[in-house]
Amino acid sequence: MPELSRRRALTTAAALAATAAATGTAAAHSANATPSGSPGSPDAFDEVYKGRRIQGRPSSGGGHHGGGHHGGDHHGGGFAVYVDGVELHVMRNADGSWISVISHYAPVPTPRAAARAAVDELQGARLLPFPTN
Amino acid sequence: MTVRKNQASLTADEKRRFVAAVLELKRNGRYDAFVTTHNAFIVGDTDNGERTGHRSPSFLPWHRRFLLEFERALQSVDASVALPYWDWSVDRSPRSSLWAPDFLGGTGRARDGRVSDGPFAAAGGNWPIAVRVDGRTFLRRALGAGVRELPTRAEVDSVLAMPTYDMAPWNSGSDGFRNHLEGWRGVNLHNRVHVWVGGQMATGVSPNDPVFWLHHAYIDKLWAEWQRRHPEAGYLPAAGTPDVVDLHETMKPWNDTAPADLLDHTPHYTFDTA
């Protein structure tokens, strides 16, 4: 699996670089509210949950996915979630609830809840990066 | 002619042949292509964008075609095999014969969810989880842990009573039969069963668990039951709907079949009971 590991390492590095960039703008994002087309876009978050770092932030869809994300259009309604720096595919439902690829049939109220549900489900296992997931 | 039977009524020989055919598709690599296709659609189908396999009217015809492809693959291994269905409103316990070691094997162990008996247990070496979203390569389940109860027959009947196939906005926010059967709204049938099984069945790579096919074969049967109860009602929308598969539009990934071509299951298979 050297190929996978290398890709994972690159994605993680890209995610960490994006973290550094996003940290400076997170406050501005919450204050400015609403990216186009997603009313009530959730706030960024960054916490350690059950020993793992989960992060979420508005995503313009530009740049930080690197070459990994096919299509380039993020389906989280302009919001990206990471577990230990690896992107977790999330999706916003029409009613405002959220799911992730790890818990795809059980909507929860927020992307932070989706990230926590993923950590619960992973039981310590590492998440595989796009495009694998 | 293919007859799809209730899994609870299969003979020992029918179970053995079904399992052997599934394992052969796994061995020769064809099985994992189905998992890949399903995950691609589940992450690609969105409420406000293009949607084909899920959260849309074509959820039912898309899965009907997907199951037909899988059943034909099984039959290329053993022509006697048909997809069984799991009526989870009746066989609603982890002690059901469905989960016995001679068929699908049981729930996962507490520590890591690993299924430890049956033909799909990792220890047997015949069921590596290759198409996956995390590092774990063994089949997992947690029967009844994510949600306590499977749907009841009364809940199924309440959904079958809905007279309209689907409604605008044709997604997870819709009223109507399709979305209540899919489970994004109301008592929640299909989605809840995925959650009840747990493990890979709760994820985008749910076909990693062979029960995926038995679950969807029953969802497909419920569509047929709904059609019989509402002979005047048909697939909607009829035409001109952006991002949504209309009655006569072809569906990805096959691009040669429209919902209209799949409304009648009887050219392909029948069921053991009406």
Domains of chain B: 2-271 (1.10.1280.10)
State how far the alpha carbon of B104 is from the alpha carbons of B9, B13, B39, B123, in Å.
15, 14, 22, 14
User: Assign residue B167 a region: left if phi > 0, alpha if psi is -120 to 50, beta otherwise?
Assistant: beta
Find, in chain A, the residue whose alpha carbon is nearest to that of B43: A101
**Is the pLDDT reported for residue A70 higher than 60?**
no
Q: Are B203 and A102 in contact (CB < 8 Å)?
A: yes
pTM: 0.88
DSSP state, residue B83: -
pLDDT over 70 for what percent of chain B? 100
**Which of B132, B192, B203 faces A104 most closely, judged by CB atoms?**
B203
B22: phi > 0 → left, psi -120 to 50 → alpha, else beta; which?
alpha
pLDDT at A78: 85
Of all residues in chain A, the one with the smallest CA distance to B145 is: A121
- Do the chains contact at B173 and A95, CB–CB below 8 Å? yes
The count of other CB atoms within 10 Å of the CB of residue B228 is 9
Distance CA A25, CA B218 (A): 49
- Indicate if the pLDDT at residue A31 is higher than 70: no
The alpha carbon of residue A68 is apart from the nearest alpha carbon of chain B, in Å, by 14
Helix (H, G, I), strand (E, B) or coil at A48: strand
> Looking at chain B, which residue has its C-alpha nearest residue A72?
B44
Judged on CB neighbours under 10 Å (0-12, 13-18, 19+), B135 is middle
Give the closest-approach CA distance of A26 to chain B in angstroms: 26
Q: Please give the residue of chain A at the shortest CA–CA distance from B171.
A: A94
Contacts of B171 in chain A (CB under 8 A): 94
**What is the reported pLDDT for B74?**
98
State mean pLDDT over B76-91: 98
Grouping H, G, I as helix, E, B as strand and the rest as coil, residue B204 is coil
A60 or B9, greater pLDDT: B9
Are A106 and B191 an interchain contact pair (Cβ–Cβ within 8 Å)?
Answer: yes
Backbone Cα Rg of chain A = 14
Mean pLDDT of A68-80: 55
Q: Give yes or no for a contact between A89 and A104, defined as CB atoms under 8 angstroms apart.
A: no
C-alpha A34/C-alpha A40 separation (Å) is 6
Tell me which residues of chain A have a C-beta less than 8 Å from any C-beta of chain B.
37, 71, 73, 75, 77, 89, 91-95, 101-107, 121-123, 125-128, 132-133
Amino acid at A88: L
B108: left (phi over 0), alpha (psi -120 to 50) or beta: beta
Q: Is B219 helix (H, G, I), strand (E, B) or coil?
A: helix
Tell me the CA distances in angstroms from B177 to A8, B55, B128, B163, B263, one per residue in order: 42, 12, 37, 7, 15
Give the residue on A whose Cα is nearest the Cα of B205: A101
Mean local confidence (pLDDT), B95-105? 98
CB contact under 8 A, A127 and B134: yes
Question: Which of A37, A105, A121 comes nearest B191 by C-beta?
Answer: A105
- pLDDT tens sequence across B208-259: 999 999 999 999 999 999 999 999 999 999 999 999 999 999 999 999 999 9
Greater pLDDT, A23 or B77:
B77
> Rounded to a whole number, what is the distance in Å from the CA of B71 to chain A's nearest CA?
24
Query: pLDDT value at position A129?
Result: 86
Inter-chain CB proximity B133 and A127 less than 8 Å: yes
Q: Are residues B146 and A92, on separate chains, in Cβ contact within 8 Å? A: no
pLDDT at A36 over 80: no
CA distance B45 to chain A (A): 9
Answer whether B259's CB lies under 8 Å from B251's CB: yes
- DSSP string covering B144-183: TTSSS-PPPHHHHHHHHT---S--TT-STT--SHHHHHHT
Residue A131 has pLDDT above 70, yes or no: no
Tell me whether residues A106 and B146 touch, CB distance under 8 A. Answer: yes
Q: What is the pLDDT of residues B4-45, one digit of tens each?
A: 999 999 999 999 999 999 999 999 999 999 999 999 999 999
Closest approach of chain B CAs to the CA of A33, in angstroms? 21
Round to whole Å and give the CA distance between B19 and B7.
12
Segment holding A52, helix H or strand E: strand A52-58
